[in-house]
A = this chain, B = another copy of it.
């Protein structure tokens, strides 16, 4: 698999347009941080870790676009850029990455040019950390995934959701490699945007992993028929209470997994954990009703049908068998265990 997003030597950013996959593989190269903000907003770049890397690179592009020489003017410019880049309310990686870049800008001595060079290095480092984090998640998961496992997933937390390899993608790819190519995947379509059908199937097929596509409503049946050994899902945000917020459909899957005693794992880098917020206070993004009313630009219902379209749902810790992070595994998560992970 190619890298989802990367910093090129000519100080531009290259990313794959995920709205066009799987039928067309098209890369976009830009030197504009506003184009990066747009890419995040219209989900050409998606997946919490990839959004974090994109936001970091967006901040570095903004620094290059800044024309003032004085550092404090650069910082002011970057503060505005950070607001522009924060286009999606639920993705904690967005605020995390822009804040990290801002902190580096503030802490670095020197003029705007010198700080900008430092920010470029930091953006690349965010991307490299992401690759290392994914690998660590996959390696940690080996104690839970056995040879021959069939793994149910939802949405795309594969390579395309990160810079490379993926979170759930690393769990699957590293086990597949370790266990002689014996891992199978069940991918839930994930309406409304169908990232399971469009992205997950594409990327695991590209790596020759036996992948079966199902619709979201088939999950209970797949579980009842004993077709899968565990679920592994990504997370857009994890809370210190052990709750996870992830793509809509995750919560329904977790309920069905519990009913069938199928282990339910959430995989995400530690940077996805929001140590501050109470899960009850999270605003779940409601997206455009036409995401449900239309597919490929054609109506599949009455054009003015009333629609409810929450983009995410929150799964409580009592439905989660373990949270798999790059720093280790938290089984049967609760606040005490999560805080222990924080202090490790």
Contacts and interface: CB of A to CB of B under 8 A. Distances in A.
A256 interface: yes
A255 B216 contact: no
Contacts of A42: none
Most B Cβ at <10 Å: residue of A22, A306, A310: A306
Contacts of A191: 189, 191, 215-217
B220 A252 contact: yes
Contact of A201 (B22, B154, B205, B305): B305
The range of chain A's interface size is 35 or more
B307 A296 contact: no
The copy count of this chain in the complex is 2
A143 interface: no
Nearest to A315: B220
A190 B300 CA distance: 11
A295 interface: yes
A290 to B, nearest CB: 11
16 contacts: A186-B308, A188-B217, A191-B217, A197-B305, A201-B302, A211-B306, A213-B293, A217-B217, A220-B254, A220-B313, A222-B308, A224-B313, A255-B255, A256-B256, A296-B296, A296-B300
